[in-house]
Amino acid sequence: MKGVIWSIAPDTQIADISHSIHAQNIMEGALALSRSAPYFPPGTVHVAVVDPGVGTNRRPIAAHLGAHYFVGPDNGLFTLLLERAENNGEIIEIVHLDQPRYWLANISNVFHGRDIFSPVAAHIVNGVPLSSLGTPIQDAVRLKVPIPVRTAKGWRGEVVQIDHFGNLATNLTQSHLKAIHNIIVNISGVSIVGLVPTFGSCSPGDLIALYGTQDDLIISVVNGSAEQRLDVRIGTLVEVVEA
């Protein structure tokens, strides 16, 4: 993919965001992308390939969302970024990539990342407008994003991401929880009393809850793995209540 990009747009700077999204886990890819993309400069083109439907009739798409461009399969990978652009009233332009003259000459059924998405991304870098690359669409596929639910005593959310340290990220954020004065976090039959400011304020082995890199509620074991300690997975329920 990098070779293809450099063949079309030779001066492009390329960074890898992640190669460790679990196979076919579109939501995990969507989260990783939505967390890192905003930190890149305006005009950055992001290519994302979590693509179990490659070679079927799922559409290849490119999207201009706010200050950034995105290229990949139309399977919901860009849902969170699209919703953010909508909420912020930013530019939204999405096209179905249907102009093979901007692709490689031979299109494999199993690697559109190389054959379609990378050349299209490089052409965007070169200034080709989305309107030349495809046909506008309004019905891009969206993932069903788990939404935290208000409960009698607080909020119910779920684990949405687990990093390689075993830290659990939830879909509950500081904005949900700020009205709760004495927080208790219930997960997997265990209660965590109170939030701590950071890992280093506790002892190795402590099971803690704190705000993460996105102001999201995270659950961790200091110098250990909350994933292993609690035997949880993506989708495990997390309840936060007033003590």
Q: Which residues bind a copy of itself (CB under 8 A)?
A: 1-4, 6-7, 10, 13-15, 23-24, 36-41, 44, 52-56, 58, 108-111, 114, 165, 197-201, 210-213, 215, 218, 223
Pick the closer one to a copy of itself by CB: 13 or 138. Answer: 13
| Nearest distance from C-beta of residue 178 to a copy of itself, angstroms | 15
Helix (H, G, I), strand (E, B) or coil at 14: coil
| Nearest distance from C-beta of residue 46 to a copy of itself, angstroms | 10
Pick the closer one to a copy of itself by CB: 4 or 133. Answer: 4
Pick the closer one to a copy of itself by CB: 14 or 91. Answer: 14
Pick the closer one to a copy of itself by CB: 16 or 139. Answer: 16
Q: Of 48, 40, 50, 49, which is closest to residue 13 (Cα–Cα)?
A: 40
| Nearest distance from C-beta of residue 38 to a copy of itself, angstroms | 8
What stretch of H or E contains 147?
none
CB 48 within 8 A of CB 29: yes
Contacts with 165 (C-beta within 8 Å, 6 or more apart), sequence order: 220, 225
Q: Of 214, 221, 126, which is closest to residue 168 (Cα–Cα)?
A: 221
Q: In this structure, which amino acid lies at residue 54?
A: V
Pick the closer one to a copy of itself by CB: 30 or 210. Answer: 210
CB 84 within 8 A of CB 34: yes
| Nearest distance from C-beta of residue 190 to a copy of itself, angstroms | 21
| Nearest distance from C-beta of residue 107 to a copy of itself, angstroms | 11
CB 114 within 8 A of CB 71: no
